[in-house]
């Protein structure tokens, strides 16, 4: 049977798009304040179509990632635009001067959700990380998929338990974020940098234990893999919640 060119083109496009795959990340803001989510794609790969947006209390939004994809998401707080048009935030600012982060990461302290989405329904990895400190409670949950596919969450207000030497305060004296010991002191035993760059030479510290006690499922320091790294097969989508 002969096919005309138009039919052949239509079939080719249908096959192409059927084979293409993307993951949808759904954001929900349950915090009693507005947040400004940001994203950073890893490994010098192209950034997502949007790298930052405003999310009001109770609002939802979606972002689509290609597959495979690897990167992180976070929430900025206390954001505003100055008279000169420069956008900035009190916590987790990405220093782009705009609502979009444009390839910039979060300035610590910042709660992070990290996701590594693999191709062909393989094993995804995801976590909530407090390695760069804490500013907002967060969770990440696969939507669909097979295997373990648990929700990873840090629902606690770590700021309430933050010791004075790690506190980031607003002008009114309120604690708005909690620094990691690495950010606060920049010492190898806290940052897991040479000569303390192995699990054996960089064990948990009294400071990382504070984060661990508040959010046992979240990374409290660089080598906190045992209870903090989650996996899911089958190409799930993901739901990220602020103040779960």
Domain segments of the chain as ranges: 21-156+217-242
Amino acid 87: pLDDT: 98
Query: pTM of the prediction?
Result: 0.90
Contact 40, 69 (CB under 8 A): no
Amino acid 18: pLDDT: 36
**Cα–Cα distance, 3 to 41 (Å, whole number):** 42
Amino acid 225: pLDDT: 87
The 3 state secondary structure assigned to the chain is: CCCCHHHHHHHHHHHHHHHCCEEEEEEEECCCCCEEEEEEECCCCCCCCCCECCECCCCEEEEEEECCEEEEEEEEECCEECCCCCEECCECCCCCCCCCCCCCCCCCCCCEEEEEECCCCCCEEEEEECCCCECCCEEEEEECCECCCCCEEECCCHHHHCCHHHEEECCCCCEEEECCHHHHHCCHHHHCCCCCCCCCCCCCCHHHHHHHHHCCCCECCCCCCCCCCEEEECCCEEEEEECC
Amino acid 1: pLDDT: 43
Amino acid 243: pLDDT: 98
Q: What angle do CA 72, 187, 222 make, to 5 degrees?
A: 35
Amino acid 226: pLDDT: 84
Closest CA relative to residue 27, chosen from 242, 235, 244, 243: 242
Q: Among all chains, which residue has been given the structure tokens 């990461």?
A: 105
Residue range 21-156+217-242, CATH number: 2.60.110.10
pLDDT tens sequence for the chain (244 residues): 444 544 344 333 333 333 447 999 999 999 999 999 999 999 989 999 999 999 999 999 999 999 999 999 999 999 999 999 999 999 999 999 999 999 999 999 999 999 999 999 999 999 999 999 999 999 999 999 999 999 999 999 999 999 999 999 999 999 999 999 999 999 999 999 999 999 999 999 999 999 999 999 999 999 998 889 999 999 999 999 999 9
Amino acid 44: pLDDT: 86
């Amino acid at each position: 049977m002969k096919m005309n060119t138009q039919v052949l083109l239509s079939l080719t496009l249908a096959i192409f798009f059927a084979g293409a795959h993307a993951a949808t990340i759904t954001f929900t803001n349950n915090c009693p304040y507005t947040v400004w989510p940001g994203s950073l794609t890893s490994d010098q790969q192209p950034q997502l179509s949007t790298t930052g947006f405003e999310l009001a209390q109770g609002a939802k939004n979606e972002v689509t990632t290609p597959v495979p994809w690897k990167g992180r998401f976070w929430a900025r707080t206390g954001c505003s635009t100055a008279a000169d048009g420069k956008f900035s935030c009190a916590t987790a600012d990405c220093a782009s001067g705009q609502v979009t982060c444009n390839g910039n990461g979060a300035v610590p302290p910042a709660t992070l959700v990290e996701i590594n989405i693999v191709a062909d329904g393989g094993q995804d990895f995801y976590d909530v990380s407090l390695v760069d400190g804490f500013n907002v409670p967060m969770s990440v949950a696969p939507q669909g998929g097979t295997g373990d596919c648990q929700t990873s969450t840090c629902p606690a207000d770590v700021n309430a338990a933050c010791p004075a030497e790690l506190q980031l305060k607003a002008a009114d004296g309120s604690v708005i974020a909690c620094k990691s010991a690495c950010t606060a002191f920049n010492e190898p035993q806290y940052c897991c940098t040479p000569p303390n760059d192995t699990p054996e030479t960089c064990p948990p510290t009294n400071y990382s234990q504070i984060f661990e006690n508040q959010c046992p499922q979240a990374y409290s320091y660089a080598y906190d893999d045992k209870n903090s790294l989650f996996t899911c097969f089958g190409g799930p989508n993901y739901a990220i919640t602020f103040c779960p």
